[in-house]
Amino acid sequence: MATNGRRQADRAAPATIYDVARMAGVSPSTVSRALNKPGRINASTEHRIREIAEAIGYRLNPLARALPTGRTQTLALTLSDITNPVYFELIRGAERVAASRGYILILAESQESADLENETAQRLLSSVDGLILVAARLDNSDIVELGKRKPILTVNRKVRGIGSVVADVRPGIRDALDHLQRLGHKKLAYIAGPSSSWMNRLRDRTISSEAGDRGMKVVTLGPHVPTVAGGAAALEAVRESGATAALAYNDLMAIGLLKAGHEVGMRIPEQLSLVGFDDIFGSDFTSPPITTIRTPHALLGEQAALRLIAELNNEAAHRHTVPRTEFLQRSSTDRARLGRF
Amino acid sequence: MATNGRRQADRAAPATIYDVARMAGVSPSTVSRALNKPGRINASTEHRIREIAEAIGYRLNPLARALPTGRTQTLALTLSDITNPVYFELIRGAERVAASRGYILILAESQESADLENETAQRLLSSVDGLILVAARLDNSDIVELGKRKPILTVNRKVRGIGSVVADVRPGIRDALDHLQRLGHKKLAYIAGPSSSWMNRLRDRTISSEAGDRGMKVVTLGPHVPTVAGGAAALEAVRESGATAALAYNDLMAIGLLKAGHEVGMRIPEQLSLVGFDDIFGSDFTSPPITTIRTPHALLGEQAALRLIAELNNEAAHRHTVPRTEFLQRSSTDRARLGRF
DNA sequence: CGGATCTCGGCAACCGATTGCCAATCTATC
DNA sequence: GATAGATTGGCAATCGGTTGCCGAGATCCG
């Protein structure tokens, strides 16, 4: 029978520093220092305390520590859609770095809703040391507001006064456009993602500007939801646009367009060249495999975690290199067709 | 300038119930009760307190509450590999349910290592109310041990005395084997996943038993790592086995086998019928799309979270239906070829 | 040898809630 | 009008650590 009513009857209460202190014949504060202020305590005492702690299976209670120190050793990462394959490597990168530095990573999903994102972030904020906002749908002012409460960092979005990790989209876009130009394409369509997406606007602008430099025309179609279904929905508009090549906001949409096109008998790349974005899992085993502009997501996740943790510990900011996108030629692009299809 | 040295100089200390109490002219305990024991306090007092709390932006500090109550409103979910697409829907299902019931979900990855999994689980255990182990690689005894500290639940694994949510693999396997039998297949290969995987053993056994009932032969190949690369590695063994149809432990491996086969000119399904497992994202846009045995992962995640939360709150166990697998015929299966390839 | 400095460990306050217990007041009942 | 009972709110302990401050004893140094 548990002595403490709030515990489940059959679960043993974990050992505390008070238990260790009693067994070692010292005060709890001595145990605390022995365990995490190396050198502060006589070496032999420290050793004895460590042995006893080990023997009775003492484990620090992170919550109890967090209360007075305000440090939870936890990071939160919010994103619009957990199941979007774009984020897998990013999540893993952040998780690995966090774990290696002794931090726990909490994931939260905003389901493409700014309100939900804000609410979630607010709720989590008091339980974490810092927050990574991936592809935030929030207003700038909300983000700034969050930044006043805890250190935060945005990925693939820039907000004045807030640290960010953003992939440089230009190198990949340049190479993609050079590639399309060599293939004779003159008129392109950009299939836009959500209008609330900062990254969507960046890709849109960069494509337009780079295409302009090359004397190519770009028409922006959308916005569309950034999913397979959203890409499929764009098919008709792409046909009507008269473009010979389409760049989708992301691979998910490119895949959707590819499937939808396939169903109505459109041949890709013969009738339409298609370029995706991100190089997600699966984009290489469609048929044809999708030519895409790769985003180094694992690197983004790692850098985000690394920089946030550095900030938390007041470490000197790492000299940080901007991750670059990279053009990946596969088989969904080919020479521009001549007539309409 | 902050009065409290441990806070970042430029971040305001969040409001506490003490602040609210002072402004309302009541004691902190009254504030606490006003906010979460509706009716315990005079209605007008409660109303006044709520208004003040709202006005100064008071937010409960979950850590402070967790310390005396032992309840963190947090669930942890451990899995072997975050980026395995198999888990996406499962994670989302669990996250949705958790969020809707006011729980936070923490994700932890064990990278296919039992030791790391155990360590992670141990570390997290004091910060969470309960733990969901997905495809645990741990020993039964370790799992039982964890269960003594906190409520835990396993997914796709059964351990005596521990609650579990496991998909029934038999319906899908039956339909798959019936399908293969109709196509004239008599000798099958099962491409095994990790030997430490309980689910792998279940699939292996069930396939063997059901195939036996139908007078079909099965040879088990492996174990192999449950990834695209692992599937590719199995190609040679499949050829040598003389089987006319192969069932892979999961879709990832089926995809790997498909790609590897494609590279050496093997035609699927003409020369080899291929059946995957799980219906992961992407398994329908390979060419040919992979015939697979679908596992209802979202449902598994939802049920796991639901049941664990019910246990935490001592609610009556939900009448719980076992999620069933389902055969999904696509195009990677065809009539058995006659000669060797 | 005496004073300054170091080393080591304990005391007690604190973080921000929750909650058992108690007391004061109000209400109801006979 | 007395008393039982309900209502309302406060006191103080508690959860498990951390840390500023203090003092006893050891060590150092001129």
Q: What is the pLDDT of residues B188-209, one digit of tens each?
A: 999 999 998 999 999 999 999 9
Q: Which nucleotides of D are covered by protein (CB under 7 A)?
A: 7-20
- A285/B255 Cβ within 8 A: yes
Record: contact B281-A85, CB cut-off 8 A: yes
Report pLDDT for B319: 66
Residue A146: the pLDDT is: 92
What lies within 8 Å, CB to CB, of A29 at 6+ separation is none
Q: Measured in angstroms, what separates residue B6's CA from nucleotide D28's C1'?
A: 36
Q: Helix or strand or coil: residue A128?
A: coil
Average pLDDT over residues A43-56: 95
Q: Cβ A281–B282 below 8 Å, yes or no?
A: yes
Q: Would B74-166+297-316 and B170-296 be classified into the same CATH topology?
A: yes
pLDDT, tens digit, for every residue of B112-166?
788 888 988 988 998 999 999 998 889 999 999 999 989 999 999 999 999 999 9
Q: Which of A244-253, A290-299, B90-99 is least confident?
A: B90-99
The strand D neighbours among B residues 4-33, by Cβ under 7 Å, are: 5-6, 25-30
Q: What percent of chain A has pLDDT over 90?
A: 77
What's the gap in Å between the CA of A63 and the closest CA on chain B? 6
pLDDT tens across B245-260, in order?
Answer: 999 999 999 999 999 9
pLDDT value for A35: 95
For chain A, the distance separating the N- and C-terminal CA atoms, rounded to the nearest angstrom, is: 78
Contact between the CB of A42 and strand D at under 7 Å: no
Considering only the beta carbons, identify the residue of B63, B120, B122 that sits closest to A63: B63
Per the prediction, chain B carries an average pLDDT of 91
Q: Which nucleotide is nearest to A68 (CA to C1')?
A: C15
- Taking contacts as CB-CB distances below 8 angstroms, the residues of chain B near A276 are none
A216: closest CA of chain B, how far (Å)? 32
pLDDT computed for residue B5 by the predictor: 36
Tell how far CA A159 is from the center of its chain.
16
Tell me, what's the pLDDT at B258? Answer: 96
The pLDDT score that the predictor gives to residue A338 is 66
Average pLDDT over residues A284-288: 90
Query: Which chain B residues are Cβ-neighbours of A54 within 8 angstroms?
Result: none
CA of B26 to C1' of D10 (A): 9
The fold of B170-296 is Rossmann fold (3.40.50)
Describe the crossing of helices B17-24 and B28-36 by its angle, rounded to 10 degrees: 110
Measure in Å the smallest separation between the Cα of B118 and chain A Cα atoms.
14
The distance of B219 to chain A (nearest Cα, Å) reads 28
CA dist., res. B66 & res. B68, Å (int): 6
Is B72 within 8 Å of A124 (Cβ atoms)? no
The separation, in Å, between residue B315 CA and nucleotide C28 C1' comes to 37
Pairing verdict, β B326-328 and B291-294: antiparallel
What confidence tier does A85 reach under pLDDT thresholds 50, 70, 90?
confident
Per the DSSP assignment, residues forming a β-bridge with A276 are A292
pLDDT tens column, B59-102:
999 999 999 999 999 999 999 888 788 998 999 999 999 989 98
Chain-centre distance of CA A224, in angstroms? 21
Q: Whole-angstrom Cα distance, residue B273 to residue A223?
A: 41
Flag if A122 and B7 touch (Cβ within 8 Å): no
Helix axes B17-24, B43-55, angle to 10 degrees: 120
Please check the confidence at residue B2 and state whether its pLDDT lies above 80. no
Given CA atoms A242, A248, A254, A257 in this order, what sign does their dihedral have? negative
Look at residue A4 in the predicted model and tell me its pLDDT: 38
Q: Global pTM?
A: 0.88
Would you state the pLDDT for residue A173? 98
**Contacts made by residues A196-202, CB under 8 angstroms, sequence distance 24+:** A196/A114, A196/A137, A197/A135, A197/A137, A197/A226, A197/A249, A198/A135, A198/A136, A198/A156, A198/A157, A198/A158, A199/A135, A199/A156, A199/A157, A199/A169, A200/A226, A200/A249, A202/A166, A202/A169
User: Pick from A7, A69, A124: which is nearest to B70 by CB?
Assistant: A7
Question: Choosing among B10, B111, B285, which should be mutated to test the A contact, i.e. which has the most A CBs within 10 A?
Answer: B285
CATH 1.10.10.10 for the A13-60 domain, yes or no: no
Q: Which one of A60, A67, A88 has the shortest CB-CB distance to B63?
A: A67
Diameter of chain A by CA atoms? 90
- Reported confidence tier of residue A6, pLDDT bands at 50, 70, 90: very low
CA neighbours closer than 13 Å in the CB half-sphere of residue A292: 25
Give Cα separations from A271 to A242, A243, A333, B100 (angstroms). Answer: 11, 10, 10, 47
More confident residue, B13 or B233: B233
Please write down the HEC assignment for all residues of chain B. CCCCCCCCCCCCCCCCHHHHHHHHCCCHHHHHHHHHCCCCCCHHHHHHHHHHHHHCCCCCCHHHHHHHHCCCCEEEEEECCCCCHHHHHHHHHHHHHHHHCCCEEEEEECCCCHHHHHHHHHHHHCCCCEEEEECCCCCHHHHHHHHHHCCEEEECCCECCEEEECCECHHHHHHHHHHHHHCCCCEEEEECCCCCCHHHHHHHHHHHHHHHHCCCEEEEECCCCCCHHHHHHCHHHHHHHCCCEEEECCHHHHHHHHHHHHHCCCCCCCCCEEEEEECCCCCCCCCCCCEEEECCHHHHHHHHHHHHHHHHCCCCCCCCCCCECEEECCCCCCCCCCCCC
Q: Do B14 and A92 count as a contact with CB atoms less than 8 A apart?
A: no
With CA atoms as reference, the chain B residue closest to A61 would be B126
Label residue A116 exposed, middle or buried (CB < 10 Å: 0-12, 13-18, 19+): middle
Given A91, A104, A148, which is nearest B106 (Cβ)?
A104
- For residue A8, the model assigns a pLDDT of 46
Pairing of strands A187-191, A217-221: parallel
pLDDT at B7: 41
Mapping DSSP to helix (H, G, I), strand (E, B) and coil, where does residue A124 land?
Answer: helix
Closest CA to A226 of A202, A195, A181: A195
How long is chain B?
Answer: 341
Q: Tell me the pLDDT of chain A averaged across its residues.
A: 91
Domain edges within chain A:
13-60, 74-166+297-316, 170-296
Paired with A159 in beta bridges are A162
CB of B64 closer than 8 Å to CB of B79: no
Burial class of residue B55, CB neighbours in 10 A (0-12, 13-18, 19+): exposed
Cβ separation B285–A281 shorter than 8 A? no
Residues of B in contact with A287 (CB under 8 A): 285-287
> Is there a cis peptide before residue B14, judged by omega within 30 degrees of 0?
no
Task: Check CB contact under 8 Å for A285 and B281.
Answer: no
pLDDT band per the 50, 70, 90 thresholds, residue A270: very high
Using the predicted structure, report yes or no on whether residue A99 has a pLDDT greater than 60. yes
- The rounded percent of chain B whose pLDDT value lies above 90 is 78
Distance between CA atoms of B7 and B4, rounded to whole angstroms?
A: 6
| pLDDT (mean) for A234-246 | 96
Q: Which CATH number fits domain B74-166+297-316: 3.40.50.2300, 3.40.190.10, 3.30.1330.100, 1.10.3450.40?
A: 3.40.50.2300
Cβ neighbours of A126 in B, within 8 Å:
14, 59-63
Examine the pLDDT at A7 and tell me if it is beyond 90. no
C-alpha A212: how far from chain center: 31
For residue A268, give the nearest of A218, A187, A337, A326 by alpha carbon. Answer: A337
With a CB cutoff of 8 Å and minimum separation 6, the contacts of A48 are A24
CB neighbourhood size of A265 (10 A): 8
How many Cα atoms occupy the beta-carbon half-sphere of A91 within 13 Å?
28
- pLDDT tens-digit readout, A307-337: 999 999 887 766 678 999 999 999 999 999 7
Instruction: Round the CA-based radius of gyration of chain B to a whole number and report it.
Output: 26
Task: State how far residue A212 is from chain B, nearest Cα, in angstroms.
Answer: 34
Instruction: Give the tens place of pLDDT for each residue, A121-158.
Output: 988 898 999 999 998 889 999 999 999 989 999 999 99
Q: Beta strand pairing status for A152-155 and A163-165?
A: parallel
- Binned at pLDDT 50, 70 and 90, residue B339 comes out as low
Strand C positions within 7 A of protein Cβ atoms: 7-12, 14-20
B220-224: average pLDDT: 95
